[in-house]
Structure 1
């Protein structure tokens, strides 16, 4: 009988434990708010992406990519990484400050996107009440070097512990600033057009129905979960109690999400992965 491929991580990994949490969709939005603060990374997105015309499609494709790399087989994860590398290899952008043309797959830019994403996943989950000790935090960052390799990074150049992530942020912060593109993107992230099935009829005028208010609450929580230094770059938005309020809100949201039926909160990639685990258990028995 052929061996069962559990992918890059497997059921004993911190990655599987963490990504089983539906609250990570808030983390994804947090990471986007953070990523916009890097001028070159923001220029690369603004000059190559159609995110304004297809915001929800792009979100779904990103979620599918993460799900595939976390829960897919090794071959599925590697194919997803190859497709992403080929896509990035065709893209370039112009630095708005210097006029220099650069490739969007520069290691510094890929590293920024990777670190902000995995740090957002981890920070959001812990503040939402997911039990992770310091050893598991470091293990997650180390495991995620495998994801970094998929996008073309040398894993040895990627922070692999909480201390290394903190040091990385310390080093990169002087490069970050609020630009016009960052401000426009942050505004778009806060109030994007809703999918048509969630929108109110046009005659209502401003779309401020329940779906809009729900999304605004989620976006506000994601923003409030940013590090204090990032909120300061956005102009010091938020009160001294912002972080505490965000912690309370994200904990309540996690409780609500975990109360949903399993089929509602588990994606198809995770279900397929758990089926392979069950297959392996049957084979071992």
Structure 2
């Protein structure tokens, strides 16, 4: 999977997923951004994973934008980059993780940021979140597409360091994994702070008052929180954001239609656009 010697030029061109994959369909859609924020809120409920963020991303509390941008760029590159580009991104992330060790104060667990069980939690939260918003918004039509997406994402999990046999391969397995994790989840002070930061991130005054950034982000954040599983919303105990599931789904669909009205250049990152252009040029050559 990771050896360049095993790749044909066409496989390198298409990347690890390719334009016929469900992954490209989900990750290129406007609701991807909502799913990404939902994943962060869900990931924060694991006390050890959250301690890793709080300990090793201290700047996130005062200026979250660089870390959010790096995370989005990594997922975009892994999805839409060539295999060589994706592997460069994977090696960079794994190299950073490898050096980070800590002790979670609540339970006293010593951990490495790249412990397979922590990587699996982060992976499953991301896949569940992106899958949930895609299904609600109508990006995916049924269970077959949902299972294909979860199965395709096993590649992403293994590349970042998860143990392959532990990674869910169907939507049902993914749901069972999350259900099994619920007894070990808790809203620590760090998790509550992270939630507030996602919902109301710091912005320079001129951005907040002279641009539409704050209301636009507010829409994303409220939709992300509202689409969390009910048990996760109850753990955070923020009744002011408790939209019904019906209202959350309606809001998500309205958001998607509004963004789809924009040209591709305005709603897709440069990495996503480059992936489509690279594949189109390569296949027509």
Normalised TM-score (structure 2): 0.90
Q: Is residue 103 of structure 1 aligned with residue 112 of structure 2?
A: yes
Displacement of 1:195 after TM fit?
5.2
Q: Is residue 3 of structure 1 aligned with residue 3 of structure 2?
A: no
Equivalent of residue 170 in structure 2, options 136, 152, 161: 161
Q: Match of 1:13? A: 21
Q: Match of 1:63? A: 72
SS at match of 2:89: helix
- Please give the alpha-carbon distance, in whole angstroms, between the structure 2 residues aligned to 1:191 and 1:221: 13
Equivalent of residue 277 in structure 1, options 267, 276, 279: 279
Displacement of 1:210 after TM fit?
4.6
Equivalent of residue 266 in structure 1, options 260, 265, 268: 268
Identify the range of structure 1 (2-11 vs 69-78) with the bigger mean alpha-carbon deviation: 2-11
- Please give the alpha-carbon distance, in whole angstroms, between the structure 1 residues aligned to 2:48 and 2:253: 34
Identify the range of structure 1 (256-265 vs 235-244) with the bigger mean alpha-carbon deviation: 235-244
Q: Match of 1:79? A: 88
For residues 187-198 of structure 1, the aligned pairs below 5 Å read 187-194=196-203, 198=207
Q: Give the gaps of 5 or more residues in structure 2.
A: 1-7
RMSD value, Cα: 1.9
The answer to whether the Cα contact below 8 Å between 1:231 and 1:238 also exists between their aligned partners in 2 is: no
Displacement of 1:236 after TM fit?
6.6
- Please give the alpha-carbon distance, in whole angstroms, between the structure 2 residues aligned to 1:36 and 1:241: 21
Q: 1:3 to 1:196 in 2, by over 3 A?
A: farther
Q: 1:270 to 1:212 in 2, by over 3 A?
A: closer
Displacement of 1:53 after TM fit?
3.0
Displacement of 1:161 after TM fit?
0.5
Q: Is residue 129 of structure 1 aligned with residue 138 of structure 2?
A: yes
Q: Give the gaps of 5 or more residues in structure 1.
A: 202-208
Identify the range of structure 1 (96-105 vs 110-119) with the bigger mean alpha-carbon deviation: 96-105
* Structure whose residues are more often helix by fraction: 2
- Please give the alpha-carbon distance, in whole angstroms, between the structure 1 residues aligned to 2:89 and 2:238: 38
For residues 142-181 of structure 1, the aligned pairs below 5 Å read 142-181=151-190
Please give the per-residue CA displacement for 1:137-192, whole angstroms capped at 9, x wherever unaligned. Answer: 11111110111112111222111110100110111110001111111111111111
For residues 182-261 of structure 1, the aligned pairs below 5 Å read 182-194=191-203, 198-200=207-209, 210-235=212-237, 237=239, 242-261=244-263
The answer to whether the Cα contact below 8 Å between 2:62 and 2:202 also exists between their aligned partners in 1 is: no
- Please give the alpha-carbon distance, in whole angstroms, between the structure 2 residues aligned to 1:40 and 1:16: 31
Equivalent of residue 98 in structure 2, options 86, 89, 92: 89
Q: 1:121 to 1:213 in 2, by over 3 A?
A: same
The answer to whether the Cα contact below 8 Å between 1:82 and 1:150 also exists between their aligned partners in 2 is: no
- Please give the alpha-carbon distance, in whole angstroms, between the structure 1 residues aligned to 2:97 and 2:140: 36
- Please give the alpha-carbon distance, in whole angstroms, between the structure 2 residues aligned to 1:240 and 1:271: 35
- Please give the alpha-carbon distance, in whole angstroms, between the structure 2 residues aligned to 1:253 and 1:216: 12
Q: Match of 1:206? A: none
Displacement of 1:77 after TM fit?
0.8
